[in-house]
Structure 1
Amino acid sequence: MGFINSLEPRMRWLAFPGFFRGIAIIHFTLLIGLTIRPEVATNLIFDWEKIQAGEVWRLVSFLFLIFPSYVPLLGTVGAIVFAIFGLRIAFLVNDSLENAWGVFRTSLFFFAIIIGQLFANCVLGATGLPYQIAGGAYLELAAFFAFATLFPKHTFLLMLIIPVHVWILAAISGFLLLANSLSNPFLGFFVLFAFGPYLWWAFPLVIRNGRNQRKISKRRVEFQSKTKGGQATSFHKCKVCGATENTHPDLEFRVADNDEEICTDCLDK
């Protein structure tokens, strides 16, 4: 994130508060329209030949398409209700990402996803392959994956009844996406670039978190052995201010790269 931090002071104009909220509202509006007039999608989908003929709006409009494939199952009213729930989740994702990353990083993340989708579709179109993809669903899925990575324990009520952690929903979606990509090389090519920015960020984070968990587990074993031996000690202790879970029970602690623990108060300074 050091490189991104260096960009922010010079490129603040790229920060758009509520950027994904705006995209989600467009998705919602178009989805409702497509449940009534699905033929309109033919004027918005990415079509390389028509783009070369002058219909340049297709370079952007494909990003706003989400085909309502569930309409036959739910009916028009059910599809609208489903879309409203989706809009609320999109708002939650937008606000959570902006709180975690800041407006600039969040906007940059979505710009990178959009550029990846546009590049993949242009390559597929330029090579003569009649397989260009509507990007709206993949844009929202990338945002959902980022949210699930940052807040894996957040709970959704499936069918308004069953509580499910968001990481489980993301894992199922990721498995289905991977399976479809492996069975369709064109889709796989698109997914590689569309989700490239997310993977570039998420893989190092997952590896780092795994290392931290192993360090914490090791410290827990040492702590338990000292406790059994009659040595009174704290499990967590901040290297900077000396706070422990006993003196400051409301604090959280993180393991730094040098294997030392630091509390969230000192981490934010």
Structure 2
Amino acid sequence: MNWLDKLERKFGRYAIRNLPLYIVMLYAIGAVLNILTKGSYYYYVALNPYMILHGQVWRLLGFLIVPPNASLIFIIFVLMFYYSIGESLVQVWGAFRFNMYILIGVLATIVASFIVYFIYPSTMIFMDTFYLNLSMFLAYATIFPEMRVYLYGILPLKVKWMAWFDVALLVWQFVVGGLGARIAIVVSLLNFLLFYFSSRNYKKVSPKEIHRKRAYRKASSVASNKPYRHKCAVCGKTELDDPNLEFRYCSKCNGNYEYCNEHLFTHTHVK
């Protein structure tokens, strides 16, 4: 990902270390406020473009304390799960790339809310970190598809199946939802789409690479049909594989066993 490499060289030193821990701490604060206010705090911090344009600018960051929708009993397990996901992504990407992923996700969520608001100004819009959390989970599932998690601590499920379920749900919402819902889904998940497609290796499907593979297979097929005179009894190489190889028979082996110069003195004698 060249664009990320360039950004990391310039701004990598400014990356927030232990960002997954800070994210979970913000969610913990939101969970406490949820208990103390019986859920009413949500309407004072949720991302609402109308309120922001009328002076409540704290909502641009306030929505980050809204935790994943979970009951009080499971909130601790949910926060531990999200912390584990964040730490795993940091281990794979590094702190800077994880910072960029979260930053793009936050900015995309804000942009999505304003786009929907300007399309439907009469609709009261409240957005939180739902799509941000979903994009983080999808990134984790893309990297660790075979990882198992225990639903409610009992039912083992592979992460990839949970991710496919979330994708199916998003597709359904995209199909049955209106224009505003579609814009919110696409823009809010921009960070996942950006990271996913920019990390793909498109070289292997380029016409030049396809031509090279076909030529190699054709040359290999022709070479495999040629008769060989010498073959190593250990590695199976012949003079067709490497014309620089030398072959000798071993006088200590019981039978006519021929070896290349790499295995002539290291093979186990046949008795």
Partner of 2:244: none
Matches within 5 A, 1:66-215: 66=67, 68=69, 79-127=71-119, 128-185=121-178, 186-203=180-197, 205=199
Structure 1 position 180, deviation (Å): 1.5
- Cross-structure match for 1:3: 3
Query: In 2, distance between residues paired with 1:99 and 1:3?
Result: 20
Matched, 1:49 2:50: yes
The 1:162–1:125 alpha-carbon spacing in structure 2 relative to 1, beyond 3 Å, is same
- 1:176-219 alpha-carbon deviations (Å, 9 max, x no partner): 122112222222211101111211222465676x97xxx9xxx9
CA distance in 1 between partners of 2:184 and 2:74 (Å) = 27
Work out the CA distance in 2 between the residues paired with 1:137 and 1:49. 20
Instruction: Please tell me the residue identity of whatever aligns with 1:101.
Output: W
1:20 — aligned with what?
Answer: 20
Separation in structure 1 between the aligned mates of residue 97 and residue 236 of structure 2, nearest angstrom:
40
Report the AA paired with residue 5 of structure 2. N
Matched AA of 1:154:
M
User: CA 1:207/1:8 → structure 2, altered by over 3 Å: closer, same or farther?
Assistant: closer
Residue 141 of structure 1 aligns with an amino acid whose one-letter code is L
Task: Specify whether residues 5 and 129 from structure 1 end up closer, same or farther in structure 2 by C-alpha distance, changes over 3 A only.
Answer: farther
Cα 1:53/1:12, change in 2 over 3 Å:
same
Identity %: 21
Q: Secondary structure at the match of 1:164?
A: strand
CA distance in 1 between counterparts of 2:91 and 2:147 reads 15
Deviations along 1:117-157, whole A, 9 cap, x unmatched?
11111122234152534231221111111111011111111
Q: Please, which runs of 5 or more residues in structure 1 have no aligned partner?
A: 71-78, 235-269
Q: Which amino acid aligns with 2:140?
A: F
Structure 2 Cα separation of the partners of residues 231 and 202 of structure 1: 43
For 2:88, give the aligned amino acid.
Answer: S
Which region of structure 1 is more displaced relative to structure 2, 10-19 or 88-97?
10-19
Equivalent residue letter for 1:179:
W
Cα 1:21–1:142 shift into 2, 3 Å: farther
Shift of 1:168: 0.7
The structure with the largest alpha-carbon Rg is 2
SS in 2 for 1:130: coil
How far 1:233 sits from its partner (Å)? Answer: 6.3
Q: What is the CA–CA distance in structure 2 between the aligned matches of 1:122 and 1:80, rounded to whole Å? A: 31
Question: Does the CA-based 8 Å contact 2:48-2:125 persist in structure 1?
Answer: yes
Give the alignment's TM-score, normalised by structure 1.
0.69
Q: What is the total number of aligned residue pairs between the two structures?
A: 211
Look up the match of 2:246: none
CA change 1:8–1:34 in 2 (3 A) is same
**1: CA distance, partners of 2:201 / 2:54:** 47
CA contact (8 A) 1:154 1:165 kept: yes
